[in-house]
Amino acid sequence: MVNTTIKTTKSQEIFAAAQNLMPGGVSSPVRAFKSVGGQPIVFDRVKGAYIWDVDGNQYIDYVGTWGPAICGHTHPEVITALHEALEKGTSFGAPSVLENILAEMVIAAVPSIEMVRFVNSGTEACMAVLRLMRAFTGRDKIIKFEGCYHGHADMFLVKAGSGVATLGLPDSPGVPKSATSHTLTAPFNDLEAVKELFEENSDQIAGVILEPVVGNAGFIPPDAGFLEGLRELTQEHGALLVFDEVMTGFRIAYGGAQEKFGVTPDLTTLGKIIGGGLPVGAYGGRRDIMSMVAPAGPVYQAGTLSGNPLAMTAGIKTLELLQKQGTYEYLDSITKKLAEGLLQIAHQTGHAACGGQISGMFGLFFTNGPVHNYEDAKKSDTAKFGRFHRGMLERGIYLAPSQFEAGFTSIAHTEEDIERTLTAARDVMSTL
Ligand code: KE4
């Protein structure tokens, strides 16, 4: 039996104090462990595939600060580059060559992107891309998919995923009906539903935005033909196709899900990995559309720290590291071993479970499945997921604290880490 008692005294003290200072004691809801129960862990430091809490407990980290740490935390080459950049300043609020360098890398990598604008978060990127879609087409309505999360801007908080799904807040208070009246939703992987929405709202739909591989309702890949079908439908109706690759960008493949699946959208949003762990977001796409963004065009969007030298530096170095030969083959191989191992153990220990992985992104649902959309995902035994999460935490494995999130590996995770994780999973699942 692996040691199953961890000391969390300091975590508890710090989190208790935090709850008096910040709503829920956190800077982002999903961190509060609401859907998995128990005491959130307060962390102190990270390195490679590992994270340590304030009580000194070490964990194998499969959250990776929600995706950015694909090269492992505090990669020495990223840290060195940041030290050098720090000496030259933390923010200019003015053009820097670093923005050119990262922009060139993003444009070279992502099939849909001919021009790009940097912002400070995925939420900002999605907000801006929505405004741009509407300006370019002169139409107001958009289609999003149930369970997909595109940040916390009002117009997206309709049957959203991630923390919204976790907290059961599909339509958060404070979001006026006027903000969401143009937001249409359909089940993920349901082309017929999208066709109907276009027929019912012909010539009014600016575009379709989706996570090409869903990570915010748990891990849900596209069914064969789904992305291609959306590409055809949007072209047929004069609407735009937007891939929100904030999570999948540079993770599913170096060129994102659009490279992996060979479907090129009109616009793409990015975040997470392109900032190497510093605050970043980006949106980009066809030159004729991006040329509408101020000051080149009339569509306004701005940001004090957009393109800041530290995020650009960390992003540049991270993408350089990802270009190394064999990166994505390695990510796919260790993550496949993890995902298949978890599934096999779940079935061997008598649990209904399904899941999968693509490259360094994976998921496990406690339901028979298959899971094609958010309704299917919601059939999962979230209480059992909570017990699984806690049991793995007690054995030194840190998984995303929600059934409605995806898991992430990095090039720093080793075969031994995967073996240790599967040993812990067997221990936990045999007692769930
Ligand atoms: P940020 O504003 O959190 O940088 O990005 C919003 C966003 C947009 N689009 C996709 C596909 C995303 O996954 C995200 C953010 N992802 C969540 C994790 N599911 C961030 C974690 C959190 O909210 O604390």
Q: Which is nearest to 139 in space by CA: 51, 198, 61, 216?
A: 198
62 catalytic per annotation: no
pLDDT of residue 167: 57
244 catalytic per annotation: yes
55 catalytic per annotation: no
**For residue 339, what are its two tokens?**
């995902």
Q: How many whole angstroms separate alpha carbon 87 and alpha carbon 380?
A: 50
Pairing of strands 354-358, 361-365: antiparallel
In DSSP notation, 213-237 reads SB-BTB-BPPPTTHHHHHHHHHHHT
pLDDT of residue 423: 98
Give the atom of ligand 1 at the shortest distance from the alpha carbon of 163: 23
| Cα→Cα distances 13→41, 43, 52, 422, Å | 11, 13, 16, 31
Backbone angles phi, psi at 268, to 5 degrees: -140, 140
Q: Which is nearest to 389 in space by CA: 125, 135, 70, 36?
A: 36
Q: Which of 244, 332, 417, 427 is catalytic?
A: 244
**For residue 298, what are its two tokens?**
């009339």
Place of tokens 């430091």: 45
Q: Name 142's bridge partners.
A: 183, 207
pLDDT of residue 176: 84
Residues of the chain with pLDDT under 50: 1-3, 168
State whether residue 362 is helix, strand or coil. Answer: strand
Domains of the chain: 9-62+325-429 (3.90.1150.10), 76-322 (3.40.640.10)
pLDDT of residue 1: 37
Give the atom of ligand 1 at the shortest distance from the alpha carbon of 271: 4
State whether residue 374 is helix, strand or coil. Answer: helix
Instruction: Please choose from 157, 213, 242, 247 the residue to mutate so as to test ligand 1's pocket, defined by most ligand atoms within 8 A of CB.
Output: 247
| Cα→Cα distances 160→210, 221, 239, 256, 327, Å | 11, 17, 22, 22, 32
For residue 2, how far is its CA from the centre of ligand 1 (angstroms)? 33
For residue 431, how far is its CA from the centre of ligand 1 (angstroms)? 33
Give the atom of ligand 1 at the shortest distance from the alpha carbon of 280: 4
For residue 122, how far is its CA from the centre of ligand 1 (angstroms)? 6
Q: Which of 272, 317, 378, 384 is catalytic?
A: 272
Q: Are residues 328 and 410 in contact, defined by beta-carbon separation less than 8 angstroms?
A: no
Question: Which residues surround ligand 1 with Cβ inside 6 Å?
Answer: 28, 30, 66, 121-123, 126, 149-151, 162-163, 211, 215-216, 244, 246-247, 271, 281, 405
Report CA torsion sign: 127, 316, 273, 64.
negative
For residue 127, how far is its CA from the centre of ligand 1 (angstroms)? 13
State whether residue 57 is helix, strand or coil. Answer: coil
